[in-house]
Each structure stands twice: as C-alpha cells, then as structure tokens.
Amino acid sequence: MSKSEVVVIDYGVGNLLSVKRGLEHCGATVCLTADPQKILDAKRVVLPGVGAFSNAMQTLESLNLVTVIQELAQRQTPLLGICLGMQLLLDYSEEFGKTAGLGLIPGQVIPVPVRSLSDMVEKIPHIGWSELYPSSSNSEWHNTLLHDNFPGEAAYFVHSFMAVPTELCDRIADCLYGGHKISATISRGHITGCQFHPEKSGEVGLKILKRFCVD
C-alpha cells in the first residue's frame, strides 16, 4: 500500500514540525507548502494554526489561500483544521473585533468564558488535558475521525477562544472548562476541526491522525 500523502498548509507561524512528525508517525508522507496548486491537488490537507484569528485570515488572504481552501471543500478533499485552524473554518470570530473566517462550517468564534458555571474566575488561556465527550446523545463518533477514540480520553488544549457551530449536528465532541461545554471536535462532510492538538495529545491524538491518514 502506498503511503498516504498529506499537505500541511504552511502560512507562517506555528509548530508545523510537530504536526508533520505526528502525521509521519502515522505513516503519511507530509508536504509543508503554501503553493495553491499543490494544496488543490492534495489528497488530504491539514490547516494548522496558532496565534490570532485576524492575522491568520490576513495571511491566508495575502497568500491567495482563502478561495483555495474553500475550493477544497467543493472538491470534498478531507480537511483537518487544528486549534486556530479549526476556528478559521467558521463564519467569523469576535477576536479583536469581528473578522470573517472561511465559512465552511456555520458558526462563530467567541472567548472562552472567564466565569465558571459556579461563578469562579477561570484561568485563560485554557491550557491542559481535558476529557472528550460526545456533544449530545446524537453525536456518533463512528465514521468520524474519533472512530477509534473513547469518551473520557483526554487531549491537550491551549486556547482562549472557542468555536460555536450554529448546528448542533456539526458538533462531535466537547470538553468541559469551568463547567461550560466547549466544542472540541466539529465536523461537516469531509471537513473536521479539532480545538485540541492531536499531534500533542499522545496516543489519543495519534489515533485521530491515523484515522485522518487512512480515511
């Protein structure tokens, strides 16, 4: 069997090496690039990201990658957004004023609540390992990238903003922070977003990357 090929969109900052190493560990051949044609021709694409939403969108815009990524959705190319890369999939973010996103999954990006349900002040950013649970009794992990994962497995999060999809059915897994449900994995068609870092979540995350590489 030939190795699966994954293109990781390289649009500036972020720890791309770890994403690459994680995918390679799962048997993939990885290409880091910002070349629109290579991205369009890819069998699978990862959109990583750390930092600020508006900066990331500006950079994608300046590299002419916004329409390219939207085109991937049309072509039904499997696309995995990680952390900020997940948030970019939505319609818009409230980080530093309202900024339009890629609009591939309906919804918005808002700050992680500072106050817990019991009105305690929570630390921001949310840094650390949090357990993943199905978002609703209807959210099936079967045939998603979480196919091999189990409710209660923990993944590594580091973020101050969170994605809120409009449709509950786009929400696969949540974690709890300060008692609030935060979307951890969202999915629509061939597009998946993980708020946590699968490449930094030990075996739990590698199972997700492996599933992405063979799906």
Q: Contact positions toward other proteins, by CB under 8 A?
A: 13-18, 21-22, 25, 50-52, 114, 121-125, 127-131, 152-154, 156, 158-160, 177-178, 197, 199-203, 205-206
Name the active-site residue from 26, 83, 175, 213. 83
- Distance of closest approach, residue 213 Cβ to other proteins, in angstroms: 15
Is the dihedral angle over the CA atoms 184, 110, 18, 202 positive or is it negative? Answer: negative
- Distance of closest approach, residue 211 Cβ to other proteins, in angstroms: 15
Give the helix/strand (H/E) hosting 40. Answer: helix 36-41
Q: Based on CB atoms, which residue is closest to other proteins, 52 or 63?
A: 52
Q: Based on CB atoms, which residue is closest to other proteins, 1 or 121?
A: 121
**DSSP-based three-state secondary structure for 20:** helix
Q: Based on CB atoms, which residue is closest to other proteins, 30 or 72?
A: 30
Distance, in Å, from the CA atom of 159 to the CA atom of 161, rounded to the nearest integer, reads: 6
Name the active-site residue from 153, 175, 199, 213. 199
Distance, in Å, from the CA atom of 143 to the CA atom of 76, rounded to the nearest integer, reads: 16
Q: Based on CB atoms, which residue is closest to other proteins, 95 or 170?
A: 95
Q: Is 197 a residue of the active site?
A: yes
From 23, 25, 127, 139, select the one nearest 83 (Cα to Cα): 127
**Residue 143 CA to chain centroid, in angstroms?**
17
Give the helix/strand (H/E) hosting 108. Answer: strand 107-111
- Distance of closest approach, residue 169 Cβ to other proteins, in angstroms: 28
The single residue listed with the structure tokens 């390992």 is: 129
Distance, in Å, from the CA atom of 214 to the CA atom of 80, rounded to the nearest integer, reads: 13
- Distance of closest approach, residue 115 Cβ to other proteins, in angstroms: 11
Q: Is 31 a residue of the active site?
A: no
Q: Is 199 a residue of the active site?
A: yes
Active site residues: 83, 197, 199
